[in-house]
A and B are shown apart, each in its own frame.
Chain A
Amino acid sequence: MEHTHTGVAHEQHGHDASTKGIWKTFWILLAITIFEVGLAFLHLETGIPPKLLLNSVFIGLTLLKAFFIVAEFMHLRNEIRNLIMTILVPLLLFIWFIIAFLADGDSWKKMRKDLSPGTPAPAVHVVNEEAHH
């Protein structure tokens, strides 16, 4: 089969360009991580950005990092379209999994609150007494 490439002939040229690309990806990943940690500290110190926005940014940046690892480090970007599709299309199931299960968890919490008040068991406070009496 003709796909048994051995890597002998190609990539003799462009050695530096390809190594440069690897390091560029590294710096991008590092910068994103530092940005995430910086943002987390900003939130701890000042409370901004608000938690919901913060978490959305974290998830967005996580997906961005995942893209760089898969596309550059795992070379998926340079594979042919057939392969990219056979890998990525099944992963679309995750969109449904995440929506369905998180919504399920949330509705369960609401059900317990509305249909069966008192569950989960009344909060036992460790830090300070709750003033509900």
Chain B
Amino acid sequence: MDTAVTAQKKWWSGGHSPFNLSYGKLMMWYFLMSDAFTFGALLISYGTIRFMSTSWPDPNEVFHSFPFVSHEAHLPLVFVSLMTFILIMSSVTMVLAVHAGHQRNRKDVVKWMIWTIIGGAAFLSCQAWEWMHLHELGAWWGRNPFANVDGTVASTNFTNFFFTITGFHGLHVTSGVILNIIILANVLKGTYEDRGHYEMVEKVGLYWHFVDLVWVFVFTCFYLL
């Protein structure tokens, strides 16, 4: 990606990758694309069911709580905004880790990777709290205590989609944190210093940004629309 590109260069005549990218990074991109279709399918099926329903619960009524604040407090969007902020922030620390890797600054890679892992863990904690809270209110797969906006009894579609999609995203965050920890261990061991480059940090970084990207859509689909 960093090689100088001239207009005359013949990308498809062999001898070098037409994508100017290493095999591993290209395959990470393709994996992410397939994952994008998986999440897309989930979100589109959610949209289809929502378009099919005569009414739907109001997210501002469902998600209005905040940890350590009384249940009566009406704080729509506040908690999920915090979660969004945490995930964007951890994306930034991930880019900074990749950037430090380009400069082969091992100390900075370690520092920013640790912050990214902390961010991911913080996001997961927030999500765990939100799930526990909703579960206490009686929401789960197959159970929906929240009424529709027009006052009618809602089907369980709302909770089924919410828990499935945020759960699938949370699973991605979890595996992202685990991958980050593995990469951090390798950085500490000096694996990439010996290898001469920190491309593994870039690959796991791509995955991590993708997780952030998916959250942007989940945030819009479940909390804003």
Q: Which residues of A contact B (CB under 8 A)?
A: 1-8, 10-12, 15, 18-19, 22-23, 25-26, 29-30, 33-34, 36-37, 40-41, 44, 55, 58-59, 62, 65-66, 69-70, 72-75, 78-80, 82-83, 86-87, 90-91, 93-94, 97-98, 101-102, 104-106, 108-109, 120, 123-128
Contact = CB atoms under 8 A, between A and B. Distances in A.
Nearest to B150: A123
Closest 9 CB pairs of A and B: A105-B51, A123-B152, A105-B48, A127-B151, A6-B197, A105-B52, A7-B102, A62-B220, A83-B19
A102 B17 CA distance: 39
A86 B21 CA distance: 12
A15 B103 contact: yes
B216 interface: yes
A109 B155 CA distance: 15
B168 interface: no
A29 B22 contact: no
Contacts of A74: 205-206, 209-210
A92 B73 CA distance: 43
Interface residues of B, number: 70
Interface stretch (B39-47, B126-134, B171-179, B181-189): B39-47
B88 to A, nearest CB: 5
Contact of B96 (A19, A58, A79, A83): A19
Nearest to A120: B54
A106 B224 contact: no
Given A7-B198, A36-B224, A74-B210, A125 B151 contact: yes
B81 interface: yes
A59 B221 CA distance: 9
A3 B51 contact: no
A11 B102 contact: yes
Nearest to B91: A73
A15 B100 CA distance: 9
Contact of A7 (B36, B101, B147, B209): B101
Given A23-B92, A37-B81, A44-B76, A5 B3 contact: yes
Given A3-B16, A80-B19, A91-B36, A102 B48 contact: yes
Contacts of B60: 40, 44
Contacts of B51: 102, 105-106, 109
Interface in B27-53: 29, 33, 36-37, 40-41, 44-45, 47-53
A14 to B, nearest CB: 11
B33 A10 contact: no
